[in-house]
């Protein structure tokens, strides 16, 4: 059990630069360019609804620009697909000028495929008489298909029954995740420390620089207790990230903002309360695992805000563990969080997400406090089940069946205001 959960954890906790959706598209474009020998004249991009929704209005690192067009244009000029979700790194002025020229000449066509209900990116790149195709499917880093002039180089696209490593977490119970987090050899969790360092670095920059629209300034002006400080620093990190500040974050379950919620509050609260560092590491480990567990149920991208129902739930569980809660109280904190924030929908990645992270952190803290105080919202309330596993299954039903048209409606509203 330990080896499998550790493999899942390492697979789902990784560094990313900028918002993960434009980064994933840029990675695919970079790979298409590499297949063509390093030059691209024009580009056709097809993505599913959620990717376009999350890529339209986020800042692109090293630029003052937003959106998917700029991410694609930069990757047409430079960047290595081997950098994965850090592909948009070290963008210089010459690259930015060339990218702007590509956009002005309408060299990039972006279409949305409303029928694709899963994570999907398809790139067709052209140079003279040559063309390449790259497909990314199911998760941000999974390049499953490559071809040059119609000749297949790589094809894992037909393996529809291939089990995603992340989804193997569904073979475990919440009790298994708690037990792993409490007992795994602490030396095996060194990479969790790296995530703390990376995410706090961005949080501190966001707290001291005038980035975004000013949310960090407001939150940092009121840090009268440890919980307000934790929330303020999480907001600061997210606002900096969504604005395109050129520092990576440690993500969780495919999302940088999930990583901020899963890590920053626990690191700040643990330090301020004088908790042993090992206990902080173990609490963050549980926070990641619960986040991954929820996302394995509801999918990589979906109509609801994962920072509330995934990483917010993970944070509440980790905080309960950190504050000495037993297994039953940890499970109650999960249900309590879902009882409060399960209805928050996702209307795309943007600077305003920092406020949603604030709400998620607040809900997680209060849900944990209720659980430790002996309060557990009963299973006859709303979508809650008689176990956290059942509650999460019910959440999946709501998002996959009851909200199947929500993303399309949200995207149409966004498209009426913005371009890619």
For residues 243 and 143, state if they share a domain. Answer: no
**Could you give the CA distance from residue 102 to residue 310 in angstroms, rounded to a whole number?**
38
Is the same domain home to 240 and 91?
A: no
How is residue 390 written in tokens? 């059942």
Query: At 405, is the pLDDT very low, low, confident or very high (cuts 50, 70, 90)?
Result: confident
Q: Count other Cβ atoms within 10 Å, centred on residue 388.
A: 26
In a domain, 11, yes or no: no
Give residue-wise pLDDT tens across range 191-212: 999 999 999 999 999 999 989 9
CB 126 within 8 A of CB 41: yes
Structural domain includes residue 62: yes
* Shared-domain flag, residues 151 and 180: no
Residue 419: the pLDDT is 53
Specify whether the CB–CB gap between 382 and 286 falls below 8 A: no
Is residue 7 in a domain?
Answer: no
Would 91 be classed as within a structural domain?
A: yes
Residue range of the domain that includes 70: 18-155
Q: Rounded to an integer, what distance in angstroms lies between the CA atom of residue 122 and that of residue 254?
A: 18
Residue 161 has pLDDT above 90, yes or no: no
Kindly state the tokens that stand for 394: 């019910």
Q: What is the CATH number for 220? A: 1.10.4100
| 84 and 195 assigned to the same domain | no
What's the token pair of residue 286?
Answer: 């549980």
- pLDDT band at 159; cut points 50, 70, 90: very low
Q: Please report the pLDDT score of residue 151 as a whole number.
A: 95
Of 179, 133, 175, the C-alpha closest to 157 is 133
The structure's pTM equals 0.94
- Is 320 found in the same domain as 291? yes
**What is the average pLDDT across 401-420?**
80
Say how many domains are in the chain: 2
150 and 177 both lie in a single domain: no
Task: Based on the fold, state whether residues 211 and 346 are members of the same structural domain.
Answer: yes
The residue from 155, 188, 205 where one domain ends is 155
Picking from 99, 120, 155, the residue at the C-terminal end of a domain is 155
Average pLDDT, the chain: 94
CA 284 to chain CA centroid, nearest Å = 16
Q: How far is CA 48 from CA 103, 110, 116, 117, 275, in A?
A: 21, 11, 5, 7, 43
Tokens of 13: 């906790």
Q: What is the DSSP letter of 132?
A: E
pLDDT tens readout for residues 340-383? 999 898 998 999 999 999 999 999 999 999 999 999 999 999 99
Within 10 Å of residue 175's Cβ, how many Cβ atoms? 14
Query: In this structure, are 134 and 214 located in the same domain?
Result: no
For the domain that residue 133 is a member of, what is the CATH number? Answer: 3.30.1330
Q: Is residue 161 part of a domain?
A: no
What is the rounded average pLDDT of the residues 213-239? 96
- At residue 1, the pLDDT reads 76
Q: Is residue 33 part of a domain?
A: yes
227/120 same-domain check: no
Residues 115 and 238 in one domain: no
Residue that terminates a domain, selected from 155, 189, 215: 155
Q: Is residue 138 part of a domain?
A: yes
Query: Region 71-87: what's the mean pLDDT?
Result: 96
Cα 354 from chain centroid (whole Å):
13
- Residues 420 and 414: their CA atoms lie apart, in Å, by 10
CA–CA gap between residue 201 and residue 161 (Å, rounded):
40
Residue carrying structure tokens 């119609």: 150
Looking at the structure, tell me whether residues 182 and 319 fall in a common domain: yes
In a domain, 163, yes or no: no
Confidence at 157, pLDDT banded by 50, 70, 90: low
Q: Are strands 143-148 and 151-155 parallel, antiparallel or unpaired?
A: antiparallel
Q: Using alpha carbons, list the distances in angstroms from residue 379 to 35, 37, 305, 336.
A: 54, 58, 22, 10
Question: 206 and 149, same structural domain?
Answer: no
Classify residue 182 as exposed, middle or buried by CB count within 10 Å of its CB (0-12, 13-18, 19+): middle
- Cα–Cα distance, 78 to 80 (Å, whole number): 7
């Amino acid at each position: 059990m330990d080896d499998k959960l550790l493999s899942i954890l390492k697979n789902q906790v990784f560094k990313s630069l900028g918002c993960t959706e434009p980064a994933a598209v840029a990675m695919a474009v970079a790979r298409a360019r590499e297949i063509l020998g390093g030059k691209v004249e024009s580009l056709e991009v097809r993505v599913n609804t959620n990717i376009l929704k999350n890529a339209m209005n986020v800042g692109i690192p090293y630029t003052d620009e937003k959106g998917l067009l700029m991410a694609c244009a930069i990757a047409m000029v430079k960047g290595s697909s081997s950098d994965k979700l850090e592909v948009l790194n070290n963008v210089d002025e010459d690259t930015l000028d060339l990218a702007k020229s590509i956009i002005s000449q309408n060299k990039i066509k972006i279409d949305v495929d409303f029928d694709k209900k899963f994570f999907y990116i398809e790139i067709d790149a052209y140079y003279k008489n040559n063309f390449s195709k790259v497909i990314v499917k199911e998760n941000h880093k999974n390049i499953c298909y490559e071809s040059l002039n119609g000749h297949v180089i790589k094809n894992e696209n037909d393996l529809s029954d291939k089990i995603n490593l992340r989804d193997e977490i569904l073979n475990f119970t919440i009790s298994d995740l708690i037990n792993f987090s409490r007992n795994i050899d602490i030396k095996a969790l060194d990479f969790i420390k790296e995530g703390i360092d990376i995410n706090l670095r961005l949080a501190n920059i966001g707290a001291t620089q005038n980035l975004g629209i000013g949310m960090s300034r407001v939150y940092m002006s009121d840090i009268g207790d440890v919980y307000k400080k934790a929330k303020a620093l999480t907001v600061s990190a997210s606002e900096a990230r969504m604005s395109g500040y050129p520092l990576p974050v440690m993500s969780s379950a495919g999302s940088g903002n999930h990583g901020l919620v899963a890590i920053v509050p626990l690191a700040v609260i643990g330090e301020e309360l004088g908790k042993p560092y090992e206990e902080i590491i173990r609490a963050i480990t549980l926070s990641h695992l619960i986040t991954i567990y929820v996302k394995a149920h509801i999918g990589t991208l979906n109509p609801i805000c994962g920072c509330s129902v995934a990483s917010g739930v993970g944070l509440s569980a980790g905080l309960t563990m950190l504050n000495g809660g037993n297994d039953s109280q940890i499970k109650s904190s999960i249900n309590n969080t879902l009882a409060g924030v399960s209805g928050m929908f996702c209307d795309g990645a943007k600077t305003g997400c920092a406020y949603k992270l604030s709400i998620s952190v607040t809900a997680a803290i209060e849900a944990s406090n209720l659980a430790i105080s002996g309060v557990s919202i009963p299973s006859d309330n709303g979508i809650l089940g008689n176990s956290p596993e059942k509650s999460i299954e019910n959440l999946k039903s709501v998002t996959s069946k009851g909200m199947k048209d929500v993303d399309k409606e949200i995207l149409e509203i966004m498209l009426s205001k913005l371009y890619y």
